[in-house]
Amino acid sequence: MRKMENRLFIGCLLLLLSLTVFLLLFVMYFIAREALPTFRELSLFSFLFGERWMPVDLGGEKAFGIFNFIAATAAVSFLALIFAALLSIGAALCLSCFLREELRDFLCSVIDILAGIPSVIYGFIGIELVTPLFIRAGVHTGSCVLAASLVLSVMLLPFMIASLSESFRKLKERYYPGAEAMGISLSYTVRSLILPQAAGSILIALILALGRAMGETMAVMMLVGNANLFPRILGKAETIASLIALEMGSAEAGSTHYHALFAAGFVLLLFLFLINFTIGLIRSRLPDIEEERYL
Amino acid sequence: MEELERKGEDSGEESTAAMELRELSLSYGRKTVLDRISFSVPKHKITAILGASGCGKTTLLKCLNGMIRNLREARLSGEILLNGESASALRTEELCRRVGLVFQTPTPFPMSIRKNMCYGLRYYGKRDRSELMRITEEKLRMAGLWEEVKGELDHSALKLSGGQQQRLCIARALTVEPEVLLLDEPCSSLDIVSMGQIEEMLKRCRERYSIILVTHNISQAKRIADEVVFLHQGRLLERGERESFFAGAKREETRAFLQGI
Amino acid sequence: MSRKKRERGHIRGIRSSFTAEDGKRGLSPLRREYFFGLLLRLFSALSLGASVFSVLFLILYILGRGSSVISPGFLTRAPAGLVLGEEGGIAPAITGSLLFSGTAVLLAGIPAIAAALYLVFFCRSRWMRASIRLVIQCISGIPSIVLGLFAYSFLVRSLGLGRCVLSGGAALSIMILPFIEMRAEKAFLELPQELLDASTAMGCSPAWTVKKMVLPYCLGELISALLLGGCFAMGATAPILFTGAVAFSAHPKSLLEPAMALPLHLYLLIAQGAGSLRTAYGTAFVMIAVLLLCRLAAAAYARYRERRWRG
């Protein structure tokens, strides 16, 4: 009886697991299926590199080119990544190496709260506090790439700090006792051992954060101005995610517009899979610390 | 080696052996951990397995208990007889139940003392409360823990002291009525008082169970063992009854170990 | 300064300290080390300070501006006013959000925990484990807006569910599934191997061990994973944008009706401009408060279990 029960239990687990895996493949398949009809009407090249996006016929010709959106997505997320990287590496170092344990745990959970704050609230705060600064600085309406990426960088902070401080702490536990026994200062150990050793994990954290930044919708949409222009630091732009969020509601089902939005989503999805694949590659080159449990 | 085996067969312990090992070998990949080990474990006695760290003692216990089968890399050959029956015919679960194993560090489950004691019983389908209570009390008494914890059976087992935790683990292992009880250095993380208590308890348990005690503590083996087996680098070097073993160790390695070199 | 140059300098420093006089004086680190050490500490302390400051500022700012708006009426009435939402309350949005994230947690929790259990305790093939982890990581990488797109075309249109709580909840559940799975897996991996061995050594089957020991042991972590996953779902706008959230509706009576949601309501209030700013702060206050309360509850429960079992 117990044996049957055991088999049944493992069977159930396996079933649910395969369901989960199947789900992802299905999401991909579905987006791709809805995206493909776009290319019956226009070429892949003109879709990816066209600069005109004119979904509705307003006298002119219809056009679906997402080049500016791709560029804006890249610009906003890279800018945000640079700001976030500077802050998070420093903060993670401070948390993992220079603070006492109780203080570290406390501050970690404080920063962790940031991760839970909904993106629409970030957008709200951005509109209330960040755009007025830009208006004062002379940017018309205050919405611009820089404003969006500043707010986005704060959103990336908690994830990066959490993963970086974890790997810094492990390295410190491994190397510092030996260095300390030779009388070498902590900050020298950090510079000479911990930071170089952590290069791989820093890279992984950065790429993961890049993925998050590219997919972020609401906060960026509220701050970036949403105009189909090539991104400039103080100019307006529109990212792929905000394009979908803004136009999906009005796109007529089955129209080229509808399919083109799916195609844009698929492009975004491909970027993110590329990112995950790269991370997998980097991880496989790092020393492996896989844990297993046997039952 | 050959001499030892013949001696084992000559003494004709078939009927009185709780467990018997024949040419037991184990390897992980290319590494041989146990090399053709043969000896028998007499019923209702304490057999101590002595040896330096890393000589394969713990692995041997996992073989006897069948848990080694859960490790895929492990290759096991040879035969284990449990009360005359071949162990390889038994399912791992059944073998685990009939051959209890207590680990080096106490492993109380993160639940109340009562639930710890009922964990295995419930698995084997015992539901009746008074029956569960009776067995719990009986085994805790056997472990000499009953008087200390009878008022706080519903407290967390993790709040007990290290020695109490280890005795709880032994009592817990006894709840499923094993025939043989394996103990893997049960006292190595405990203080002297707890060690004494556990040794007393093992002497009491000897009447009902056959016990195999792995230890690297020579004086402990001198105090409570009936039979002693000496392992060295995965091979059985010497075995004998307590007095004869400690009085006249034949092999150089054994003497070196006994003298603490 | 290049790293090579610095290292050479350092070596020279050590070599010079090996002279006889230095032997008497004892070795002492280069003065430059003090300077760099100080710089490093200063930089890291400043960035930590900035990060912590931004958290506290954000939360306190919202709580401060929003607290004056909160009243029993705000929490229990529907939105009202000439421009909808300028007056009245946010009650339907609160119930709607609770329904959305409840559905999402229910739909995602069971498969996520099952997948984590299988991966940690039962999966024997290294290759399979690695590839499933990759798949789950890929799901976590899918942008929430793409999930909304998927749910819209598949659930709302192909399956004909229409815009409703169920479609939105399903989109959210795909979003939080990897989150819950990763946290659960981490909790399971922290379980000491000796406990599992002890259970196996008594002859208990893996299924029994999981049910009677692993799950109770990790219950606190699992509950907090579900709770935080729920919070995550409650704050997300993009997946429910065209799948179930609407600008105005009454309290939904079933899962097959559309509902209001706090984040979308907040977005619309902001979009309406200055007139509804007051209620926007109120809505943001409620969202932050729910988030903080959930975190507090999760932490308190974990602390309680810690006390109870690991005294």
Q: Which of A241, A281, A22, C151 is closest to A273 using CA atoms?
A: A281
Note whether B70 contacts C: Cβ–Cβ < 8 A: yes
The answer to whether the CB of B260 falls within 8 A of the CB of B87 is no
Give per-residue pLDDT as tens, C141-155.
888 888 998 998 888
Angle at alpha carbon of residue C204, lines to C198 and C206, rounded to 5°: 95
Distance from CA of B120 to the nearest CA of C (A): 7
Question: Which H or E run includes B229?
Answer: strand B227-232
Per the structure block, which two tokens stand in for B203? 């002497």
Residue A58, domain member (yes or no):
no
Q: What is the pLDDT of residue A121?
A: 92
Instruction: Return d(Cα A177, Cα A189) in angstroms, integer.
Output: 10
Report the domain count for chain A.
1
Answer whether residue C115 shows pLDDT above 70: yes
Do the Cβ atoms of A3 and B123 come within 8 Å? no
Residue of C208, C267, C291 lying closest to A218 (CB–CB):
C267
Confidence of residue B123 (pLDDT cuts 50, 70, 90): confident
- The whole-number average pLDDT for the span C107-125 is 90
**Chains in contact with C, where contact requires at least 3 CB pairs less than 8 Å apart:** A, B
Do the Cβ atoms of A98 and C41 come within 8 Å? yes
> Which 8-state DSSP code applies to residue B51?
-
Q: What is the pLDDT of residue B261?
A: 57
Q: Please list every residue in chain A whose beta carbon sits closer than 8 Å to the beta carbon of residue B93.
A: 2-3
**Chains in contact with A, where contact requires at least 3 CB pairs less than 8 Å apart:** B, C
Instruction: Return d(Cα C263, Cα C284) in angstroms, integer.
Output: 8
Of A2-6, A234-238, C15-19, C26-30, minimum mean pLDDT range: C15-19
Q: What is the pLDDT of residue C4?
A: 46
Q: Which of the pair, A56 or A104, is modelled with greater confidence?
A: A104
Burial B200-228 (b: 16+ CB within 10 A, else e): ebbeebbeebbbbbbbbebebbebbbebb
Residue of C41, C118, C238 lying closest to A187 (CB–CB):
C41
Distance from CA of C130 to the nearest CA of B (A): 18
Q: What is the pLDDT of residue B9?
A: 41
Report the domain count for chain B.
1
Do the Cβ atoms of C205 and A191 come within 8 Å? no
- Percent above pLDDT 90 for chain A: 23
Do the Cβ atoms of A294 and B70 come within 8 Å? yes
Q: What is the pLDDT of residue C1?
A: 41
Q: What is the pLDDT of residue A72?
A: 92
Note whether C147 contacts A: Cβ–Cβ < 8 A: yes
Residue of B101, B123, B159 lying closest to C201 (CB–CB):
B101
Residue B154, domain member (yes or no):
no
- The whole-number average pLDDT for the span A97-120 is 87
Give per-residue pLDDT as tens, B14-46.
446 888 888 888 888 888 888 888 888 888 889
Residue A16, domain member (yes or no):
no
Answer whether residue B8 shows pLDDT above 60: no
Q: What is the pLDDT of residue C284?
A: 93
Answer whether residue C16 shows pLDDT above 50: no
Q: Which residue of C has its CA nearest to A106?
A: C52
Note whether B90 contacts C: Cβ–Cβ < 8 A: no
Q: What is the pLDDT of residue C14?
A: 47
Answer whether residue A113 shows pLDDT above 90: no
Do the Cβ atoms of A191 and C36 come within 8 Å? yes
Which domain does A251 fall in, by range? Answer: 63-285
- The whole-number average pLDDT for the span C79-99 is 85
Q: Which of the pair, B173 or C6, is modelled with greater confidence?
A: B173
Confidence of residue C27 (pLDDT cuts 50, 70, 90): low
In the block, residue with structure tokens 């109770």: C216
Q: What is the pLDDT of residue C250?
A: 83
Q: Please list every residue in chain C whose beta carbon sits closer than 8 Å to the beta carbon of residue A216.
A: 143
Residue A294, domain member (yes or no):
no
Residue B85, domain member (yes or no):
yes
Distance from CA of B123 to the nearest CA of A (A): 8
Q: What is the pLDDT of residue C103?
A: 94
Q: Where are the domains of chain C?
A: 3-67, 72-310
* ipTM of the modeled complex: 0.86
Q: What is the pLDDT of residue A196?
A: 85
Confidence of residue C310 (pLDDT cuts 50, 70, 90): low
User: What CATH number is attached to the domain comprising B188?
Assistant: 3.40.50.300
Give per-residue pLDDT as tens, C261-277.
999 999 998 888 778 88
Answer whether residue C101 shows pLDDT above 90: yes
Note whether C192 contacts B: Cβ–Cβ < 8 A: yes
Give per-residue pLDDT as tens, A241-279.
999 988 888 888 788 888 999 999 999 989 888 888 888
Residues 114-133 of chain C with CB under 8 A from chain B are 124
Answer whether residue C102 shows pLDDT above 90: yes
Of A133-147, B3-17, C98-112, minimum mean pLDDT range: B3-17
Do the Cβ atoms of B70 and A295 come within 8 Å? yes
Size of interface B-C (CB pairs under 8 A): 76
- The whole-number average pLDDT for the span C202-210 is 88
Note whether B16 contacts C: Cβ–Cβ < 8 A: no
Q: Kindly report the average pLDDT of chain B as a whole number.
A: 84
Of A46-60, A96-110, C120-134, minimum mean pLDDT range: A46-60
Instruction: Return d(Cα C136, Cα C183) in angstroms, integer.
Output: 12
Q: Which of the pair, C269 or B12, is modelled with greater confidence?
A: C269
In the block, residue with structure tokens 């602390």: C303
Size of interface A-B (CB pairs under 8 A): 7
Distance from CA of C179 to the nearest CA of B (A): 26
Q: Which fold has domain C72-310?
A: MetI-like fold (1.10.3720)
Interface test with C, best of A12, A15, A23, A27 (most C CBs within 10 A): A27
Do the Cβ atoms of C50 and A109 come within 8 Å? no
Give per-residue pLDDT as tens, B95-117.
888 888 998 888 888 888 998 89
Give per-residue pLDDT as tens, A26-37.
888 888 888 888
Q: What is the pLDDT of residue C30?
A: 67
- The whole-number average pLDDT for the span C20-49 is 75
Which domain does B64 fall in, by range? Answer: 2-109+178-258
Residue of B71, B93, B123 lying closest to A294 (CB–CB):
B71
Q: List residues bridging with B228 in a β-sheet.
A: B48, B240
Instruction: Return d(Cα B174, Cα B97) in angstroms, integer.
Output: 10
* pTM for this prediction: 0.83
Do the Cβ atoms of C195 and B110 come within 8 Å? yes
Answer whether residue C242 shows pLDDT above 50: yes
The 3-state DSSP class for residue C68 equals coil
Residue B219, domain member (yes or no):
yes
Do the Cβ atoms of B107 and C195 come within 8 Å? yes
Q: Which of the pair, C86 or A147, is modelled with greater confidence?
A: A147
Residue A41, domain member (yes or no):
no
Of A194-208, B32-46, C9-23, minimum mean pLDDT range: C9-23
The answer to whether the CB of A253 falls within 8 A of the CB of A236 is no
Answer whether residue C244 shows pLDDT above 90: no
Question: Which H or E run includes B18?
Answer: strand B17-28
Q: Kindly report the average pLDDT of chain C as a whole number.
A: 84
- The whole-number average pLDDT for the span A201-222 is 89
Burial A137-175 (b: 16+ CB within 10 A, else e): eebeebbbbbbbbbbbbbbbbbbbbbbbbbbbbbbbeeb
- The whole-number average pLDDT for the span B90-94 is 84
Q: Which residue of B has its CA nearest to A295?
A: B70
- The whole-number average pLDDT for the span C57-72 is 90
Residues 147-206 of chain B with CB under 8 A from chain C are 156, 158-159, 169, 172-173, 176
Q: Please list every residue in chain C whose beta carbon sits closer than 8 Å to the beta carbon of residue A123.
A: 267, 270
Q: What is the pLDDT of residue C169?
A: 94
